[in-house]
């Protein structure tokens, strides 16, 4: 394939991202901003680029199912990516005329390949236009049907169905293909929710209060990260579900708190706001470049109690000593299956064998967290995944190995309290947010010394 790109062309840019994801296992969310810059995409077209890139990724397996009857003989991988991109626009988008999609696809095929490839692309897409796409009704196996219909690997559908049932699994998989809401958290140390709404409105963005979380706003137009309201530290970009661990932690002013896996700092800064920027808050993370992000966030928001440290949470006792903190948050490295809506590549790259390795890391982190926690202190374990074995399995194993810890009811915003008893599992379809898991523990006695 020739690497000839066209400045300002949205579909050429989308194709470049999708090909890098397919060919180099690149992350689409990281590539998107870089590609907008390198292709010189106009502001008015950024939304379309995001939509057709993520939409094609979200529906990739479904698009392959639709294309299969029309592909004859061997086809180069990059041509298949171009066909997926084009078919996504024809099947899922109303505002782009199919003839314009076909024309653009043929032009990209000419630039990146040659006349013969362009002819194949033209032939396939025009055949789909004439004959339509095939139904899912011919698929008799219910797991395979949901897998193809929602574009999730079959092993994932079978695993979730075993844990939550087939109906809940289908609801979740369908929700994962929807466009996520834009949500921001108001920095309550600096502004009220009403003041933040007014500031955003003065910059021509519309924001409405969340029905779940008092300091959360849903922004329905524009890019809040590019506003002065953001730059001056009145808001932070954060999903609603990610705001829950700070509630469960019950941190108060003048406490000593440790956020053990803190980068990029969204939960750390939320905790600082719950502490009204008073007390001691350590933010620990493995990587220097990620710790820098926490420092930048804290500075922008004006939070002075956050002390960042580059270090391994699995060595927290060595770093801080035994029983030093009133609260510890372990927002653990996880499979990330709750954020597929925002990062659709995840569903194609995760493997079932990853889960056991992740649980061992989480257990090591929780073991250290229990030891650095004071008696009567609260430990919160959270993940952005919905896998029951990974979440509940880790929490139950931790309790079994730590008799000094007991489960307590996780404190949540009032609008959610009555719906979650015990461990908190938020599914993406529950509140149209990310999937999330939270377990809260209290230390009832000092750590036993050997």
Output the DSSP codes for 77-132.
Answer: HHHHHHHHHHHHHHHH-SSS-HHHHHHHHHHHHHHHS-HHHHHHHHHHHHHHHHH-
Cβ-count burial of 40 within 10 angstroms (0-12 exposed, 13-18 middle, 19+ buried)?
exposed
The answer to whether the beta carbons of residues 382 and 338 sit under 8 Å apart is no
Q: Residue 376 annotated as binding?
A: no
Q: Residue 193 in 3-state DSSP?
A: helix
Q: Which two structure tokens, joined as six digits, stand for 28? A: 């689409």
The answer to whether the beta carbons of residues 75 and 120 sit under 8 Å apart is yes
Half-sphere exposure of 74 (CA within 13 A, CB side): 1
Q: Residue 277 in 3-state DSSP?
A: coil
Per-residue confidence (pLDDT) for residue 353, from 0 to 100: 83
| Pairing, β 373-383 against β 325-331 | parallel
Q: Residue 331 annotated as binding?
A: yes
Per-residue confidence (pLDDT) for residue 43, from 0 to 100: 84
384 is annotated as an active-site residue: yes
Residues of the chain with pLDDT under 50: none
- Rounded to the nearest 10°, the torsion over CA 299, 305, 311, 317 is -170
Distance from the first to the final alpha carbon of the chain:
64
The answer to whether the beta carbons of residues 76 and 100 sit under 8 Å apart is no
163 alpha carbon, distance to own chain's centre: 21
Per-residue confidence (pLDDT) for residue 251, from 0 to 100: 98
- Calpha distance 435→343 (Å, rounded): 12
- Calpha distance 409→417 (Å, rounded): 10
Per-residue confidence (pLDDT) for residue 6, from 0 to 100: 67
Instruction: Domains for the chain: give ranges and CATH numbers.
Output: 10-131 (1.10.940.10), 142-176 (no CATH), 182-237 (3.30.70.1170), 240-443 (3.40.50.150)
- Calpha distance 106→82 (Å, rounded): 9
The answer to whether the beta carbons of residues 405 and 379 sit under 8 Å apart is yes
Q: Residue 266 annotated as binding?
A: yes
- Calpha distance 28→14 (Å, rounded): 10
Q: Residue 312 annotated as binding?
A: yes
Contacts of 161 (CB under 8 A, 6+ apart): 143, 169
Query: Nearest to residue 200, comparing CAs of 181, 228, 180?
Result: 228
Specify the DSSP element, H or E, that contains 326. strand 325-331
Residue listed under structure tokens 């502490």: 275
Q: Residue 263 annotated as binding?
A: yes
Per-residue confidence (pLDDT) for residue 23, from 0 to 100: 87
Q: Which listed residue (17, 82, 384, 439) is catalytic? A: 384
Q: Residue 13 annotated as binding?
A: no
């Amino acid at each position: 394939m020739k690497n000839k790109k066209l400045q300002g062309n949205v579909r050429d840019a989308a194709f470049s991202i999708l090909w890098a994801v397919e060919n180099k296992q690149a992350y689409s969310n990281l590539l998107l901003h870089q590609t907008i810059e390198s292709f010189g995409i106009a502001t008015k077209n950024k939304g379309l680029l995001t939509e057709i890139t993520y939409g094609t990724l979200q529906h990739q397996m479904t698009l392959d199912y639709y294309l299969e009857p029309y592909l004859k003989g061997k086809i180069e991988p990059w041509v298949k990516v171009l066909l997926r991109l084009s078919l996504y626009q024809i099947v899922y988008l109303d505002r782009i005329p199919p003839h314009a999609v076909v024309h653009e696809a043929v032009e990209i095929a000419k630039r990146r390949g040659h006349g013969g490839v362009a002819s194949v692309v033209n032939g396939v897409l025009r055949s789909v236009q004439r004959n339509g796409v095939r139904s899912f009704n011919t698929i008799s196996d219910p797991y395979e049907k949901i897998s193809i219909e929602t574009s999730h690997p079959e092993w994932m559908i079978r695993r979730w169905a075993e844990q939550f049932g087939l109906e809940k699994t289908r609801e979740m998989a369908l929700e994962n293909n929807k466009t996520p809401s834009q949500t921001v958290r108001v920095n309550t140390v600096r502004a009220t929710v009403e003041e933040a709404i007014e500031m955003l409105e003065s910059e021509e963005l519309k924001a409405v209060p969340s029905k779940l979380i008092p300091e959360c706003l849903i922004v329905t137009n524009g890019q809040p990260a590019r506003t002065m309201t953001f730059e001056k530290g009145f808001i932070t970009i954060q999903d609603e579900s990610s705001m829950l661990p700070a509630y469960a932690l019950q941190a108060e002013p003048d406490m000593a708190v440790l956020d053990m896996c803190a980068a990029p700092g969204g939960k750390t800064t939320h905790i600082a706001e719950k502490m009204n920027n008073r007390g001691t808050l350590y933010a620990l993370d493995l990587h220097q470049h990620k710790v820098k992000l926490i420092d930048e966030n804290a500075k922008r928001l004006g939070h002075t109690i956050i002390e960042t440290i580059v270090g391994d949470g699995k060595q927290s006792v060595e770093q801080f000593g035994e029983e030093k903190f009133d609260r510890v948050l372990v927002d653990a490295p996880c499979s990330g299956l709750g954020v597929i809506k925002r990062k659709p590549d995840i569903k194609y790259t995760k493997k079932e064998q990853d889960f056991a390795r992740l649980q061992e890391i989480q257990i090591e982190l929780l073991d250290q967290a229990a030891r650095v926690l004071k008696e009567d202190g609260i430990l919160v374990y959270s993940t952005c995944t919905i896998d029951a074995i990974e979440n509940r399995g880790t929490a139950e194993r931790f309790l079994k190995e730590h008799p000094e810890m007991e489960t307590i009811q996780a404190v949540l915003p009032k609008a959610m309290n009555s719906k979650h008893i015990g461990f908190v599992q938020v599914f993406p379809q529950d509140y149209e947010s990310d999937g999330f898991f939270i377990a809260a523990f209290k230390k009832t006695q000092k750590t036993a010394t050997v």
